[in-house]
Amino acid sequence: MQPVLETPLKRWRAEASRNWVFFRQWLRAPLTTASVVPSSPRLGRAMAQALPPWVSRVVELGAGTGSITRELLRERVCAERLCMVELNPELHRDLKIAFPNCQVVCGDARRLPQLLAATEGFRDGRADAVVSSLGLLSMPAGLVEQIVAAAFDCLPTRGVMIQFTYGPKCPVRESTLRRLHLRARRVDFTWMNLPPASVYLLQRH
C-alpha cells in the first residue's frame, strides 16, 4: 500500500494550529516566550547545522511547539538521542504527543543536570550539545547566567551551546561569559524568520 502523503492543506492547518498555540502562550507569558510565532524552518536548519559533526546526544531547551525540533531531527539528531525540555505544561503535553520517540521533560532549565539524571538515555546527566530557544533577552542577567551555567555543567570540555536571538548581539552578557570562562561567536543570521534572528555558538575557552 502506498503511503498517504501530507497535502498542502493539511500542512497549512498543522502550521496554523502550532502558531495559534504559540501565540496563546505568548499572550499568557510574554516575558518568557521569545516571539509571537514559532521559529521558521530556516532558523531551525541554521541551528542544526551549527552543531559540530561529532555531536550525538542533544538537549533542546524551550522546545515550544517543536519547530526547531523538527529541523534538528531532519538535519542531524536521532530522535532517541534528543531530550526536549519545556517549562510550560501545555506545550510539554503537546510535545510528548508530537515526538513520541524523543525524551520530553517538563522542568526548569536551571535544573538541567538533575532533569537529565532522571531521563532515560541521559541518566549520567550528560549531553554533547545544548540547543536553546529560550528568550534570554527578556530575562534578568542572573537568571541567564544560571541557565547557561547549568547547560555547561552537562557538557564535556568541547561541548557547545547553540542559542538564537532577535537582538543585535549575543544575549549572554560579556561579564557572564567571562565568569563562566566561555566565548561566543555568531555563526549564522537569517532574514527568513519573524523577526530575523542570529545564531550564536557558545563554548569554553
CA-nearest of 18, 24, 25 to 41 is 18
> pLDDT per residue over 155-186, tens digit each?
999 999 999 999 999 999 999 999 999 999 99
Residue 32 reports pLDDT greater than 80: no
152, 127 in Cβ contact below 8 A? no
The total of other beta-carbon atoms located within 10 Å of residue 124's CB is 10
pLDDT on residue 192? 73
pLDDT on residue 6? 53
pLDDT on residue 187? 97
175: Cβ contacts below 8 Å, ≥ 6 apart: 141
CA 81, 201, 108, 118 dihedral sign is positive
pLDDT on residue 191? 84
Reading the block at residue 157, the C-alpha cell is: 570540555
pTM of the model: 0.82
Contacts of the segment 105-109: beta carbons below 8 A, 24+ positions apart: 109/61, 109/62, 109/85, 109/134, 109/147, 109/150, 109/151
Phi, psi (rounded to 5 degrees) for 189: -150, 135
CA atoms of 181 and 134, how far apart (whole Å): 21
CA atoms of 170 and 176, how far apart (whole Å): 11
Percent of the chain with pLDDT over 90: 76
β pairing state of 129-132 and 197-204: unpaired
Q: Which domains does the chain have, with CATH numbers?
A: 39-204 (3.40.50.150)
ω into 195 cis (within 30 of 0): yes
